[in-house]
């Protein structure tokens, strides 16, 4: 049992590394690969997004693959793909191998996200299923922390190399810093090789899922697998339940409960059952839709965007850059610590209680953060007409110095820092930029067509030929004038305001970790009936990733156009729906076998 939980937890660790590793590597990859390989910003974006694309693609067939080759071999395959991706990325000498390596990581992550919770649900006893899913989530959060720590270690190494190179000549100094940064991003990926190898080898040593074996008619093998984690009497009782669930409704009671039936007869019953009902048949509709709703609402809380943009959020709230970066590390550690609390509570208090507790805390945190930002954003001054008058047809560049602040109507003599947020467009292409007057570098705010209008792509051309193109046509932006959509100038919020927002973010992350963070994996695996579990989980996880992608895509444009308060209030509304769903629709599944849960939904459908 301990070995099974350890290897499944390693799958969660790989999933967390998949998500978090690029954050530390990207700055060094951008400053070296773009020079050595002449990568464009679009290509770097593809490298970052390749994991998401690979995950979406593998989620489409993960369930079918797990049904075909088994849960154990699907886990082995996901570990092998992750392991192969590491040398492909770390030894890359061009754009294509780097992109392929990231795609392999995404495919591995998509398989892990479906197959490992599926395997845990089908192998663990009802008393331990919640703890198993919680351990998967715990190791996932530790994977995020590990990725951040690895990135921090390499950042310190680069800083040390940069300081040591200051005594060299300009050419040697440039070469030394370039070599340090190139070594940094490659080392970040090499660090991830060991957990990939451990997971791959460990998965080979696991037993196959007893429910998958029973569906294939391998009753004796299923009994053996159950006996590895249960006493003999419990294993026999659970095996009878599994066979009853697989037997068609018109079968005799004797045929449904005879655990010693011949191998051939069991195989024929299993085959008849697995092909009996489609995914969207009436008896499966309610649990399938409920699982999909929970998976969608789990991302609609905004958790991924909060974790990805927490430094931006805290900066906007009033905390200085270094403090905001420290807050990022604190939140990820808090996420891991509260997941440990969830591990202890999920099989004692139940899924329903934790989901209600967690979503209630998230609603409170989001409303608090939204109200804090609404108060700060209410003091913004609209300077759009002034900037539009200064804009030329193609571009506008300004530095937030004393002369510019005076021209915009701000009192530069007080010394209080101010912040300018500008949303602008070239035809259908939009962008948002923010500058603070207390930035030591005081970089210019430069709006140009080249930085806003994205080049055409093969995908865009293909969809335009079908008249279904969701992407803007670059031709429409190449000759459109610069239009200032929104320009607001306001005092930077106080440090006290920043700490209050940081407190709200801590409440948000703690509430998510103790409730939805753990329970979502249980909902994904427990609510689905045996016959549709693998394919149903693939679809539900795909919906989860789609919602996450959409929120990430609209986050920066939304906060640029409408402010952070609007985004937090929208998330609060979605999380309130999540709370109501957990309260009134979600059944308590603590301590129940998968077959008992399925029977409950079957009675409701009848």
CA 180: distance to chain centroid?
A: 30
Query: 208: closest CA among 92, 321, 118, 79?
Result: 118
Bridge partners of 433, per DSSP, are 422
Q: Two tokens at 124? A: 């663990």
Higher-scoring residue by pLDDT: 343, 495 = 495
pLDDT of residue 286: 81
Chain segment 13-57, per-residue pLDDT in tens: 888 887 777 766 776 777 787 667 766 555 666 676 677 778 778
Residue 605: pLDDT band with limits 50, 70, 90? low
Q: Report the mean per-residue pLDDT for the chain.
A: 79
- Kind plus residue range of the DSSP H or E element containing 485: strand 482-491
Cα distances (angstroms) measured from residue 111 to each of 34, 216, 489: 31, 21, 46
Query: Mean pLDDT throughout 569-580?
Result: 96
Measured N-to-C along each axis, helices 351-377 and 321-349 cross at an angle, to the nearest 10 degrees, of 160
pLDDT in tens, 364-408: 999 999 999 998 888 888 888 888 888 876 888 888 888 888 888
Domains present along the chain, CATH in parentheses: 1-206 (1.20.1250.20), 210-274 (no CATH), 382-486 (no CATH)
Burial zone of 479 (CB within 10 Å; 0-12 exposed, 13-18 middle, 19+ buried): exposed
- Asked if 492 contacts 438 with a C-beta cutoff of 8 angstroms, the reply is yes
- Partners of 436 in the β-ladder: 419
DSSP character at residue 491:
E
Instruction: Give the pLDDT confidence score for residue 74 in this predicted structure.
Output: 92
Per mean pLDDT, which of 186-190, 313-317, 389-393 is the most reliable? 186-190
Could you give the C-alpha distances from 52 to 102, 151, 397, 550, 575, in angstroms and in order?
9, 20, 34, 12, 24
Q: Please give the backbone phi and psi of residue 361, each rounded to the nearest 5 degrees, phi first.
A: -65, -35
HSE of 516, CA atoms in CB hemisphere, 13 A: 31
- CA triple 232-237-241, angle to 5 deg: 145
Quote the pLDDT of residue 76: 94
What are the pLDDT digits (tens) for 70-97? 888 999 999 999 999 999 999 988 888 8
Q: Which of 230, 251, 286 is nearest to 598 (CA)?
A: 286
pLDDT tens digit string along 163-178? 888 787 778 887 888 8
pTM of the model: 0.69
For tokens 């005594």, the residue is: 167
Q: Quick check: 498 and 314 in contact, CB under 8 A?
A: yes
Q: For the chain, what is the radius of gyration of the CA atoms? A: 27
In degrees, rounded to 5, the angle at the alpha carbon of residue 46 between the alpha carbons of residues 42 and 52 is 150
**Is pLDDT at 446 greater than 90 in this prediction?**
no
For residue 486, the 8-state DSSP code is E
| Average confidence (pLDDT) over 570-598 | 86
Q: Is the pLDDT of residue 253 over 60?
A: no
Report which of 199, 225, 230 is spatially closest to residue 212, judged by C-alpha positions. Answer: 225
* Band (432; pLDDT cuts 50, 70, 90): confident
Q: How many CA atoms lie within 13 A of 188 on its CB side?
A: 30
| Percentage with pLDDT > 90 across the chain | 16
- Please write the tens of the pLDDT for every residue from 510-555: 999 999 988 877 776 777 776 777 777 778 878 887 887 778 667 7
What would the DSSP string read from start to end of 418-467?
EEEEEEEEETTEEEEEEEETT-SS---EEE-STTTSPPP-HHHHHHHHTT
Spatial CA neighbour of 244 closest among 606, 604, 593: 593
Indicate the range of 77-86, 213-222, 248-257, 456-465 predicted with least confidence.
248-257
């Amino acid at each position: 049992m301990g070995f099974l939980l350890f290897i499944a937890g390693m799958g969660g660790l790989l999933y967390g590394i998949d998500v978090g590793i690029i954050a530390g590597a990207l700055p060094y990859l951008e400053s070296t690969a773009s020079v050595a390989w002449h990568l464009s910003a679009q290509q770097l974006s593809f490298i970052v997004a390749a994991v998401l694309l690979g995950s979406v693609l593998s989620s489409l067939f993960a369930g079918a693959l797990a049904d075909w080759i088994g849960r154990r071999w699907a886990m082995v395959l996901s570990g092998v793909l992750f392991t192969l991706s590491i040398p492909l990325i770390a030894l890359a000498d061009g754009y294509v191998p780097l992109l392929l390596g990231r795609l392999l990581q995404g495919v591995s992550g998509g398989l892990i996200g479906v197959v490992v919770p599926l395997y845990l649900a089908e192998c663990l006893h009802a008393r331990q299923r919640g703890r198993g899913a919680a351990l998967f989530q715990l190791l996932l959060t530790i994977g995020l922390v590990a990725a951040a720590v690895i990135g921090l270690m390499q950042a310190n190494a680069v800083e040390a190399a940069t300081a040591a190179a200051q005594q060299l000549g300009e050419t040697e100094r440039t070469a030394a810093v370039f070599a340090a940064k190139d070594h940094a991003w490659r080392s970040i990926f090499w660090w991830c090789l060991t957990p990939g190898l451990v997971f791959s080898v460990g998965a080979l040593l696991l037993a196959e899922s007893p429910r998958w074996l029973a569906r294939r008619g391998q009753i004796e093998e299923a009994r053996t697998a159950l006996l590895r984690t249960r006493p003999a009497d419990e294993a026999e009782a659970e095996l009878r339940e599994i066979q009853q669930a697989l037997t068609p409704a018109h079968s005799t009671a004797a045929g449904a409960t005879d655990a010693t039936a011949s191998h051939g007869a069991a195989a024929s019953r299993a085959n008849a059952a697995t092909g009996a009902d489609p995914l969207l048949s009436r008896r499966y509709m309610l649990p399938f839709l409920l699982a999909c709703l929970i998976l969608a609402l789990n991302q609609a809380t905004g958790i991924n965007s909060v974790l990805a943009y927490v430094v931006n959020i805290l900066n906007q709230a009033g905390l200085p850059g270094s403090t905001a970066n420290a807050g990022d590390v604190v939140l990820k550690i808090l996420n891991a610590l509260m997941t440990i609390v969830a591990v202890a509570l999920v099989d004692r208090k139940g899924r329903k209680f934790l989901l209600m507790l967690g979503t209630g805390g998230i609603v409170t945190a989001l409303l608090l953060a939204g109200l804090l930002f609404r108060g700060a954003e209410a003091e913004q001054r609209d300077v759009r007409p002034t900037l539009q008058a200064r804009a030329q047809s193609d571009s506008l560049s300004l530095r937030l110095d004393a002369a510019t602040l005076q021209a915009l109507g701000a009192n530069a003599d007080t010394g209080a820092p101010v912040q300018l947020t500008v949303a602008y467009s070239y035809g259908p292409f939009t962008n948002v930029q923010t500058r603070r007057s207390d930035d030591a570098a005081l970089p210019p705010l430069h709006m140009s067509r080249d930085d806003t209008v994205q080049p055409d792509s093969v995908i865009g051309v293909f969809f335009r030929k079908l008249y279904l193109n969701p992407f803007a046509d670059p031709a429409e932006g190449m000759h459109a004038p610069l239009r200032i959509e929104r320009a607001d100038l306001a005092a930077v919020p106080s440090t006290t305001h920043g700490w209050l927002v940081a407190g709200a973010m801590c409440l948000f992350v703690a509430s998510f970790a103790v409730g939805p963070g753990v329970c979502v994996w249980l909902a994904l695996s427990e609510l689905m009936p045996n016959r549709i579990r693998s394919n149903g989980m693939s679809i539900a996880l795909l919906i989860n990733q789609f919602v996450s992608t959409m929120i990430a895509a609209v986050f920066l444009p939304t906060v640029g156009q409408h402010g952070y308060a609007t985004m937090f209030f929208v998330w609060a509304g979605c999380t309130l729906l999540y709370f109501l769903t957990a309260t009134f629709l979600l059944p308590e599944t603590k301590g129940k076998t998968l077959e008992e849960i399925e029977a409950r939904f079957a009675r409701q459908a009848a």
